[in-house]
């Protein structure tokens, strides 16, 4: 019995890992002035209909980077990162699904929240390499939480297809990122 491996798709394509999409989402999160569009959240399907982009490779990589940044300070908090991330994503998925008319996919919710955790990684690296006074670090932490909250609530509002409810969406998301800020800074 012979198997022809030449007809098989590449492994990363088969697993659904697209580095161009990861790069595009990362840049869109890091640029707070860029307007969030539907193609940042949805991918074109085979029939032309947009499907929810539920990439989990990027968020897992970002969570590992956050853990690595904390490891530079001598804190082994991988369990906290994954625990808060898992409980927070599940809770926010439930809240956002109840708020939207069409519902949300839990993988899409986790993907949005995971990608928008990237500014928190920058804060954790900053706190590892620079010693800042209390007021400077407090201001940086508040700005980082606001940055994460703003980007993820923009993406979440588009994914939920709700209008004029950004403040309602941003409040629980801000609490989620505030937990990560407490883990990252202290």
Q: What is the pLDDT along the chain (186 residues), one digit of tens a residue?
A: 557 777 777 877 777 777 888 888 889 899 888 888 887 777 776 666 667 778 898 999 999 999 999 999 898 999 999 999 999 999 999 999 999 888 888 999 999 999 999 999 999 999 888 877 778 889 999 999 999 999 999 999 998 988 888 999 999 999 999 999 999 988
Q: How far, in Å, CA of 96 to CA of 108, rounded?
A: 11
Q: How far is CA 186 from CA 31, 44, 134, 172, in A?
A: 26, 42, 11, 21
Q: How far, in Å, CA of 77 to CA of 171, rounded?
A: 25
The whole domain housing 179 covers 54-185
In-domain check, residue 35: no
In-domain check, residue 71: yes
Angle at 31 between CA 25 and CA 33, to 5 degrees: 125
In-domain check, residue 46: no
Total number of domains constituting the chain? 1
In-domain check, residue 68: yes
In-domain check, residue 165: yes
In-domain check, residue 28: no
In-domain check, residue 143: yes
In-domain check, residue 86: yes
Residue for token digits 């927070």?
Answer: 88
The residue among 89, 64, 91 whose CA lies nearest residue 78 is: 64
Contact 182, 138 (CB under 8 A): no
The residue among 91, 93, 70 whose CA lies nearest residue 80 is: 70
């Amino acid at each position: 019995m012979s198997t022809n491996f030449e007809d098989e798709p590449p492994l990363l394509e088969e697993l659904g890992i697209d580095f161009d999409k990861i790069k595009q989402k990362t840049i869109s999160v890091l640029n707070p002035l860029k307007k969030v569009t539907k193609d940042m959240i949805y991918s074109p399907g085979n029939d032309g209909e947009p499907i929810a982009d539920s990439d989990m490779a990027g968020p897992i990589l970002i969570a590992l980077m956050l853990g690595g940044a904390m490891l530079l300070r001598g804190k082994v908090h991988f369990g906290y990162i994954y625990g808060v991330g898992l409980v927070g994503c599940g809770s926010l998925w439930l809240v956002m699904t109840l708020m939207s008319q069409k519902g949300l996919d839990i993988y899409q919710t986790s993907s949005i929240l995971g990608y928008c955790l990237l500014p928190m990684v920058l804060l954790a690296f900053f706190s590892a390499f620079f010693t800042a006074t209390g007021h400077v670090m407090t201001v940086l932490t508040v700005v980082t939480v606001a940055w994460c909250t703003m980007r993820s609530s923009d993406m979440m509002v588009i994914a939920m297809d709700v209008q004029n409810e950004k403040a309602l969406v941003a409040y629980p998301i801000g609490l989620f990122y505030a937990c990560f800020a407490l883990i990252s800074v202290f």
